[in-house]
Amino acid sequence: MGGLTVLHECLVTLPHEDFVYLGDHARLPYGPRPLEEVRRFAREIAAFLEAEGVKLVVAACNTATSAALPQLQEELAVPVVGVITPEAHAAVQATRNRRVGLLATEGTVDAGRYAELVHALDAGVDLFAVACPRLVPLIESDDPFGAATTDAVREYAAPLKDARVDTVILGCTHYPLIRPIFQRVFGRDITLVFSAEETAREVAETLARKRFENDAAREGAYRFLTTGPPDAFRAMGARFLQLPITEVEHVEPAQLEAAAA
């Protein structure tokens, strides 16, 4: 579901483009899975989308980007944009004391991609990473703004505050949904970097650079596919997308596997 926060920003930034969104709900969650397994899933989805005739692929999941971005970029004939590089760049630009925090899933933290990218941009920046296994289930619960979510954010934020970071990367596409809680816990003095806004900007710049843009005067369309139950996707998806979702198509995981075969 988290990738819908990225799609929302893309729709706002690029209203003239067409989007197809595929949510792999039958095989969630990705965060605790072995990176090799997540890499296989990402390659299957990307191959399926390329066969649909897309002109660019967004890996709208931090765990999938961490596990598979280089392989996707090598294997696909179209550009692939991940959600990590834009965030790392924004964090390095934003930090004043060169102490950056990262809140993300276990898989994203274990992959170490953020540290590699941040240090490639500025070797003097210290990155402090905290895995947050409780946040995604809480954000997808019936009460994402409840006391349990606030308590979890405070717990995960504590070591970053102790490390005196002045910038925090919210390294999961679910996290923008509870942005007010993060802002309350961290306060005004700490800059928060979200994947959705930075990724949408990267998509726009890539399309412009490649001269792939649609006519700015047209209104784009969007369609949704899921490997899980369409009704469940429709009900929860509207919360993340903040726009109505009508039709949702079902795709079997076997169709994704066949696309990458």
Closest CA to 131 of 155, 163, 167: 155
**Distance linking the first and last C-alpha atoms of the chain:** 26
- Burial class of 67 by CB neighbour count within 10 A (0 to 12, 13 to 18, 19+): buried
Asked about 132 being catalytic, the answer comes back as no
Q: Catalytic pick from 45, 104, 172, 181?
A: 172
Q: Catalytic pick from 45, 61, 64, 225?
A: 61
Closest CA to 207 of 39, 28, 79: 79
Strands 99-104 and 57-59, how do they pair?
Answer: unpaired
Query: Which residues are CB-contacts of 169 (< 8 A; sequence separation ≥ 6)?
Result: 87, 88, 91, 100, 101, 102, 103, 104, 114, 193
CA 76, chain centre distance (Å): 19
State how far the Cα of 145 lies from the Cα of 140, in Å rounded to an integer.
10
State how far the Cα of 32 lies from the Cα of 197, in Å rounded to an integer.
25
Where on the phi/psi map is residue 187: left (φ > 0), alpha (ψ -120 to 50), or beta? left
Asked about 10 being catalytic, the answer comes back as no
Active site residues: 61, 172
